[in-house]
């Protein structure tokens, strides 16, 4: 009896791998899970495409003829459409923040985060996987939006490599902001609150910027806010890389070095808010 007991197979608990390898693997697994979920709910992608297309149509054809672009001759709506598109691209990638926060809040509300915590996986992988999946969805949205922009007359004048670099900066900003959304999603009790909390600060951030109108006519205080807005730096970097009109930006440092400023802002936001979000995740699921 004793011998039989000794030779019986023993249940072996899964032993997690350590270090960066485990974190990368677990993050990709969670990202795959979220992408599969998105494909099974196509409405999420469709509704995410409708809003930026509506903004393009509204600003390009309703306001375009009334907003002159400094430094450009005449009041040609086609010039404004080229000026506009970098701002629309940036708005689209940052507005994905609300969806990221709502998705994480929903997982928290349903107890899915607690199930992940019981598995032998990296603590930050749940959030990293979620933000990576949102980045893929945002990239898909940008591809569709580029097609719409080309239809209405927007063009790239500095070549494909620089255009790809501009889109890379835009997606990096969107990824950085998704960590802000993750922190909001972990800090509220319901997905509805996460959606509202994710949008309420985005509207002033995007509109007090150079995204839709030149900042020259803003009050002095708002000009300074817009010049040092990370959103403005990425928009201007996109315009310069696309070869679109830039509206004679100010001499503030981020406006003189928009590409460098955009990279610096995005990296700083990722470092700060990823740290805060992972810390919040650990305390929220204990």
Are the beta carbons of 22 and 119 closer than 8 angstroms? no
Are the beta carbons of 246 and 236 closer than 8 angstroms? yes
The pLDDT of residue 3 is: 46
The pLDDT of residue 16 is: 47
The pLDDT of residue 77 is: 77
Nearest to 234 by CA among 253, 207, 261, 208: 261
Say how far apart CA 99 and CA 158 lie, in whole Å.
33
Cα end-to-end span (Å), the chain? 42
The pLDDT of residue 11 is: 40
pTM of the predicted model as reported, rounded to 2 decimal places: 0.85
Written in H, E and C, the secondary structure of 56-69 is HHHHHHHHHHHCCC
Per-residue model confidence as pLDDT tens digits over 175-188? 999 999 989 988 88
Say how far apart CA 163 and CA 133 lie, in whole Å.
23
Annotated domain spans of the chain: 21-284
Spans in the chain with pLDDT lower than 70: 1-19, 65, 73-75, 117, 284-286
The pLDDT of residue 109 is: 75
69-77: long-range contacts at Cβ-Cβ below 8 A with a sequence spacing of 24 or more?
69/214, 69/245, 69/247, 70/214, 70/216, 70/247, 70/248, 71/245, 71/246, 71/247, 71/248, 72/245
Torsional class of 71: left (φ above 0), alpha (ψ -120 to 50), beta (otherwise): left
Cα 246 to Cα 43, 60, 71, 79, 221: the distances in Å are 35, 16, 8, 10, 21
């Amino acid at each position: 009896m004793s011998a039989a007991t000794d030779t019986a197979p023993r249940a072996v608990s899964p032993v997690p791998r350590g270090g960066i390898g485990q974190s990368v693997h677990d993050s990709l697994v969670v990202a795959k899970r979220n992408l599969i979920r998105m494909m099974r709910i196509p409405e999420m992608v469709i509704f995410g495409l409708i809003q930026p297309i509506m903004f393009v149509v509204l600003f390009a054809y309703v306001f375009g003829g009334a907003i002159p672009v400094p430094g450009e001759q005449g009041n040609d709506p086609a010039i404004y459409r080229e000026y506009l598109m970098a701002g629309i691209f940036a708005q689209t990638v940052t507005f994905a923040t609300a969806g990221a926060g709502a998705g994480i809040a929903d997982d928290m509300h349903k107890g899915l985060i607690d199930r992940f915590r019981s598995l032998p996986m990296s603590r930050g992988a749940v959030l990293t996987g979620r933000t990576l999946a949102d980045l893929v969805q945002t990239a898909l949205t940008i591809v569709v939006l580029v097609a719409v922009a080309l239809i209405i007359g927007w063009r790239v004048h500095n070549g494909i490599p620089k255009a790809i670099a501009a889109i890379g900066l835009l997606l990096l900003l969107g990824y950085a902001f998704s960590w802000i959304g993750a922190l909001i999603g972990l800090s509220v009790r319901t997905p509805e609150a996460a959606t509202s909390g994710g949008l309420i600060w985005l509207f002033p951030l995007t509109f007090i910027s150079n995204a839709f109108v030149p900042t020259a006519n803003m009050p002095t205080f708002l000009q300074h806010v817009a010049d040092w807005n990370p959103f403005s730096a990425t928009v201007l970097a996109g315009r310069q890389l696309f070869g679109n009109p830039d509206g004679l930006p100010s001499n503030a440092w981020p406006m003189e070095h928009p590409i460098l400023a955009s990279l610096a802002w995005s990296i700083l936001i990722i470092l700060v808010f990823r740290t805060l979000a992972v810390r919040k995740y650990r305390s929220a699921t204990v």
